[in-house]
Structure 1
Amino acid sequence: MDLQGKVAVVTGGAGGIGAALAARFDAEGATVVAVDRVALDGVRVCDVTDAEALRVLVGGVIAEHGGIDLFCSNAGIATGVGLDDPDDLWHAAFEVNLMAHVYAARAVVPHMLERGSGYLLNTASAAGLLTSPGDAPYAVSKHGAVAFAEWLAVTYGDRGIGVSVLCPMGVATPLLMDPLAAGDPGAQAVAASGDIVSTEHVADVVVAGLREETFLLLPHPQVGTFWAQKASDPDRWLAGMRRLVNR
């Protein structure tokens, strides 16, 4: 996908990866609609866990700009909880990290099918391919996000709709840096697994991946190696993860 002249919607666009994507897409010549739950200049307010709100957002962007070429379902949250923590945090993680992708696809895919073209970029995480020590809801919901992106690609890939899933590891955003500063074991395990990259680096990888229409976008290439090791010998991989967390 060449972004020049395209209309792109980016959720979670007020900060972090979303803001970097919005800025880079704009620099590439796209018309960008940044969306977030917070009210900031240049950012439209929308709760991505509200299916009707997303439907209204999509309809409004189509009416205003004539269509949507790229929808980036990027908003995400971490919880830092485990097995015995309150159900509301589990539900929140699933709503933002997984169901928001479903609601967005429901809203925009019919439009893309009617046009015969379109692109979906869903932000998941390396945790969706591997795991996330210290944050069970994050790991589980991000696995679901990867699985849903795979389903979209299989179902609509031959009908004019491209699909990519973004799976970064450590990125310098508050989602990682705040828990890391607090000494969170899960964040420390992420930091020990590879470089903490900038959001601008992530945006560079995304633009290159969209250009090639690559499904799996990995700002940390070693994630692909870890993923292959996990698949080839799960018991060895799990033992290695336990050693990493214990260290």
Structure 2
Amino acid sequence: MITVGVDLAAADERSGLAVVEWSPGRAVVSDASLGASDAEIISAVRASDKAGIDCPLGWPAAFVSFVATHEHGLVSPPPPGAGAMWRRRLAYRMTDEVVRASTGLIPMSVSADRIGHAAFRAAGLLSLLSPDGAPLSRAGDGQVVEVYPAASLWGWGLTHRGYKRAGLASDLVSSLLTAAPWLSLGSFEPLCRRSHDALDAVVAALAARAAATDRATRPTAEQLPAAAIEGWIALPAGPLADLVDP
């Protein structure tokens, strides 16, 4: 199996890309890079069995409706005292709330934070990846799944806060390799130690493996309609050791 991880940013130079090749008892990073272009991402994803993208794949349905309504000047203000909850539904997707409840981590708001710039790019990539113009699933049941490296690291018991500060990515690499002795970063280890974008891409590829092997959360039947529109963050549902075959 081949999994791909993409730490997607609005600009190529901040986008990380990693390819992991899996065999019984072993996983090898066969490629990792920074400055990933749309063409490079598309090529890598198409050659993979599963790709994890660290970026929202959709917007809150309430926000989409709000913008469409506001275009015609028909927005109704919230009732007194309900403003905070009203704004929260516009800012956060169902999957963001699920992650918050499960991990205590709060994903960036795709409609209110700068991550929206990367989401514009992600929407274009999904269109380019769609076969024969058929919409690509945003719920994670197709070739692409939305992932959240910090939440994946939390689930695996690894440092998930603060590692993006200068020099700390190297410490996380050491912890990751200790926790997953079957993982080889090969010649890309120095890059992962100095760049949290490259490291996040590797973690995204590991999370994609969890989703591909049914070791990650999936939306319930009740959650699926919203996930199909807004996207679904797949959280690893087991330890790192479960990712490799015995």
Q: Relative contact order (C-alpha < 8 Å, sep 6+): which is higher?
A: 2
Length-normalised TM-score, structure 1 = 0.32
Length-normalised TM-score, structure 2 = 0.32
